[in-house]
Structure 1
Amino acid sequence: MKVALVHYHLQPGGVTRVIENTVSAWKINGNGPEDYVILSGRNYPERKLQNVRVVEGLDYMDLSDATDPLILKERMEEAARSVLGKLPDVWHIHNHSLGKNSGLSGAVAELAKSGARLLLQPHDFAEDGRPQNFRNLGEARALLYPTAGQIHYAALNRRDQSFLQSTLDDFNSPVHLLANAIPQQPASNPREIQRYFPELPENLILYPVRAVRRKNLGELALLSATHPEFHFANSLGPTNPAFRSIYQNWIEYTQHHQLSLTYGLGEQTDASFPEMVNHAQAIVNVSVAEGFGLGFLEPWTFGKCLVGRNIPEITSDFSELGVHLDNLYNELWVDSSLVDQESLKHAISAALGSAYQDYQRELPADAVNVATESILNEQGVKFGSLNEDLQKQVIAEVQSSKQETESIRKQAKLQILNEPNIQKNQAAVAENFSLPAYGAKVYQIYRNLLESQTEKVTYANSEKMLEQFLSPERLNLLRS
């Protein structure tokens, strides 16, 4: 079996790490393809990967600059032959539908027409809050999801698997669940770390993420306001200039309200990421949207308990594999009297109107009511769905109310699990998400793909995917 792995680039980041882990897993297992080639639109800056070929026109490109799909297909085939000596038995293509290059989306459609066996693995979706990417697909949108017995898909989580299956309904392309690998982490002595890095806070609850809007920094402030026995911190500040002013406002807010909270702790210490994690009493998540869900698995590899917010549509399959997250909460509800409801409804209406306009779709007549009822109902208001201004209003009210503080503490249930339960989750992650386990899953999918019957290619209605993501009840003001 000979395989081509394809991505726009191999710069440091999530998909590049996935490709590196895939190749590493094959080497560890001694059970992988006979040969492989990696096609990229840019030079690879590291040395971990071999057999890399740069293909002109494969990198990110605007719609007006995109290479003709037939030409790009031919270049990809030529580059693959230069290493493999023949066309690949399997094309494993990452993020073809993301809208970063309509030429690749079209080239995938051309490969499909030629009868190639394809494994298409979306990590992110143009339909999920990326309207500019969606528009950048142009006419390729109609060909975005080819389907036939010899075309399989791989999804990172149950939600993506479900959305793909619904989009491909009544077609024959299987959708495999293929969660990313989680390498095991070395343990360190917390006392030694404290000695070398005294600037690290005691009783630290660490949120090991870079500051972006969907990471919900306001909820970290809410937890800090209601749990003064801990010091909360996230690890890194933003790189997106558009978010920097919001981030700075949170820093000023926490200082003004004297919260035991540090934003950007990793930029205020020489301690490494593993050293900060090992020093922490626990790891916290408050993100409202994730792709794979690394943050729900990686803490256990360090032997650390995870506390905070769950995202069930991302983590539902983890519990089936023995990673129990029952100690997490799904939502933090606050009393509706703490929120200016007119401001909330105005924000919801504006956000929905903007989202549908960005995707050039008509706003459903009941969309505002549906979205409002999903955020504001008889249970109260979902704190994690509010924008930053409304979140700040709520935190100030909660701080001045013993009753509201106790309500948040009861819902958040920030209890650090005992060592036996931590070890059970650690073992489950090691068994199901290790590099060897990942490599075996990928190779088995390839084998299934090779055994699949060749059929005539058709194309699923890509509008179904957009409808699933662009849904009023999924509205979150932190993603608007």
Structure 2
Amino acid sequence: MKISAMKILIVHCHFERGGVTQVVENHVHCLQGSDEIDEVALVSGPRQSGLQAATRESASIWSVESLEYDSHRDMSLGVDEQAQNTARELDERCEQAGWSRQQTVVHWHNHSLGKNAASPLVIQHLAAMGYSCLLQIHDFAEDQRPQNWAYLKQSHGCRRASELDAILYPHGDRLSYATLTTGDAETLAQFGIHRSRVDVLPNSVRLPTAELPEFEVATQKVREAFDLPADFRWMLYPVRGIRRKNLGEFLLMCQLAGRPTIGAMTLMPATPMEKKSYERWQAVAERCVENVVFNAAHHEDIQFVDNLSAASVVVSSSVAEGFGMVFLEPWLASRSVVARNLPGVTGDFINHGMRLDHLYDAVQIPGSPEWLAAANRQFQDAKTNAWKDVQRDVDIARSQSTPDQSSGDANDWIDFARLTPSMQIEVLQRFNTDAGFAQEVRERNAALCEALVTEARPAVIDHNRNIVATHFGPENQKQQLLNAYRKAISNESIPVSEVQSDQTMLDLVEHSRPFYPCRVEQLD
């Protein structure tokens, strides 16, 4: 069947600066000049300050108040009435723009995350009207976001997890899905969404290589900005320091590397809870980690390209990523990556042929049997408490899940990331004051210590840079998007699976992702 030029309506709650906005902007950039795309529009709630001028010039920008986060808007209407009104308003906007329903693909980002409870119902209304809907999942509410999940369940009046699943993950002739990774696509397939209805759309990686300053120029600029010694090595962690980025472990990496290495945490979070956690780690560093700089991206004289060009190595201690840009982007700047291995993310990169030689699966922290037992009890308590306010059917489902891997085989160590933040702080303080303990931690993690201070081989950098440019560049993403849009428009002929899994999405997501206490810590 020949498909006429398509209209693409890209939907999110907001377009403030952040991960989803960057993905959307990359999509707009990739789609420019395509003969198969007639017009692109972005629609969100009123917050749209994160969109760059180039994006605004390449796409129409619409605003619909009811798409905003529920926490940011009037909630006087019930979720069903709100969904009907929002679907009607989106339909009217498309009609005003001259878009027919049959020509339009609605590309909705993170519909099921729990920031706007009506979104899944809006999508079902639009599909019933004749719009083809592509639902791209970046993050799952079921993935250690108990407040989001419980809010969705309450908003929709669901008694059981399976009832909510039917609302959040609908299936039908005009409904298809996209994920960032193969692992997430398999999770949807295991739930019962037909695999042919799920496309993997990895993020495209773009870096303004023409703007990258020379290493010597960048290091001089960074040294002067932060008053650093002449022989410093910049160990860059280029992220916003939210809880899942596992900042305690990043501070431990700074201690393991030692001087002249200086760790650089780039961005402060914006939300109150995340900012409170970030500032706590900043205070910890002031007490016991001498070789670290916070807010490295907030200095008025330093741009992202300066930090990246000055880096001798880029690191990540994150325990959860939707896609994992930090594993890819540095290679385009000829910088190596040392990072905690996230198999659900890194598996795709390795399957494309990348040589990620400096991934680590754990940071071994030794301890007495009593201390390790206490650490494991706190781990289990953190996991239980994270979901304590959720209904009983969830408790049953989670208690039957596969238990977490315990400490080392000889039961004389525990992975640093499995420690609660309070115990992580205890380790950092002891490392700073107990030379014998610090030496034992270094010996147990000798490969990591060496990777942090060793320059990557040029052949490896060239190899990975070429793979990133080839497989995750704009042209490849363009073809992936067009394929997904073609399927969305013509997907009436694609088989529709009835959801028959006896497992809920809570079960399936938990089985695919390990739990780490830092993700769910609540600070008063």
1:314 aligns with 2:341: no
Identify if the C-alpha distance between structure 1 residues 97 and 370 changes in structure 2 by more than 3 Å, giving closer, same or farther: closer
1:6-45 to 2 correspondence within 5 Å? 6-27=11-32, 29-42=33-46, 44-45=48-49
Task: Identify the residue that residue 320 of structure 2 maps to in structure 1.
Answer: 289
**8 Å CA contact 1:348, 1:372 repeated in 2:** no
Q: How does 1:421-436 map to 2 (within 5 A)?
A: 421-436=460-475
Match status 1:4 vs 2:9: yes
Letter in 2 for 1:139: H
The answer to whether the 8 Å contact 2:222/2:310 transfers is: no
Cα separation, partners in 2 of 1:268 and 1:451, compared to 1, 3 Å: closer
Name 1:139's counterpart in structure 2: 156
Matched residue SS, 1:10: coil
2:70 equivalent in structure 1: 61
Question: Is 1:278 equivalent to 2:303 in the alignment?
Answer: no
Deviations 1:221-267 (A, max 9, x none): 22222222422221123333334454444334334335322233334
- Describe the superposition over 1:189-243 as per-residue Cα deviations: whole angstroms up to 9, x where unpaired: 1212233443354111111122222111121222222222422221123333334
Report the alpha carbon displacement of residue 350 of structure 1 after superposing the two structures with TM: 2.4
Alignment match, 2:95: 81
1:149-173 deviation line (CA, Å, top 9, x unaligned)? 542211011232122121225x465
Question: Would you say 1:242 and 2:257 are equivalent positions?
Answer: no
Contact 2:192 2:497 in 1 (8 A): no
- Mark the CA change 1:370 to 1:339 in structure 2 (over 3 Å): closer, same or farther: farther
Change (3 A) 1:253 1:116: closer
Which of 186, 206, 215 is the equivalent residue of 2:245?
A: 215
Q: Deviation digits for residues 351-408 of structure 1, max 9, x if unmatched?
A: 2222332332453499499656445654631111212221233345554332332222
Distance 1:348 1:44 in 2: 39
CA deviation vs aligned residue, 1:328-361 (integer Å, no higher than 9, x gap): 1122222242872343243233222223323324
Whole-angstrom CA distance in 1 between matches of 2:169 and 2:477: 25
SS in 2 for 1:235: strand
Closer, same or farther: CA 364–245 of 1 in aligned 2, 3 Å: same
Write the mapping of 1:75-474 to structure 2, written as runs, cut at 5 A.
75-87=89-101, 88-137=103-152, 138-139=155-156, 141=164, 142-168=166-192, 171=194, 174-186=197-209, 187-199=212-224, 200=226, 201=228, 202-229=232-259, 230-257=261-288, 259-267=290-298, 270-337=301-368, 340-361=371-392, 362-364=394-396, 367=399, 371=403, 373-374=405-406, 378=410, 380-398=413-431, 399-401=435-437, 402-414=439-451, 415-454=454-493, 460=499, 464-470=504-510, 474=514
Number of corresponding residues = 478
SS of the counterpart of 1:121? strand
Kept in 1, the 8 Å contact 2:397–2:507? The answer is no
CA distance in 1, matches of 2:449, 2:315: 11
Instruction: Give the direction of change, closer, same or farther, for the CA distance of 1:83–1:369 in structure 2 (3 Å limit).
Output: closer
Instruction: Point out where structure 2 has 5 or more consecutive residues left out of the alignment.
Output: 1-5, 158-163
| 1:25-45, Cα deviation, whole Å (9 max, x unpaired) | 121x53441223332222644
Distance in 1, Cα, partners of 2:27 & 2:245: 28
Structure 2 letter corresponding to 1:106: L
RMSD of aligned C-alpha atoms?
3.0
Secondary structure at the residue paired with 1:277?
helix
Write the letter of the residue equivalent to 1:422.
I
Which one-letter code corresponds to 1:381 in the other structure? I
Aligned-pair CA distance for 1:139: 2.1
Q: 1:195 and 1:89, CA in 2 relative to 1: closer, same or farther beyond 3 A?
A: closer
**Aligned residues of 2:42 and 2:62 also touching (Cα < 8 A):** yes
Would the alpha carbon gap of residues 70 and 284 (structure 1) be closer, same or farther in structure 2, given more than 3 Å must change? Answer: same
Q: Contact between 1:5 and 1:38, CA under 8 Å: does it hold in 2?
A: yes
Instruction: Give the TM-score normalised by the residue count of structure 1.
Output: 0.89
Q: Alpha carbons of 1:283 and 1:417: their partners in 2 closer, same or farther (altered >3 Å)?
A: same
Rounded to whole Å, the distance in 2 between the matches of 1:71 and 1:254 is 50
Structure 1 window deviating more from structure 2 (299-308 vs 192-201): it is: 192-201
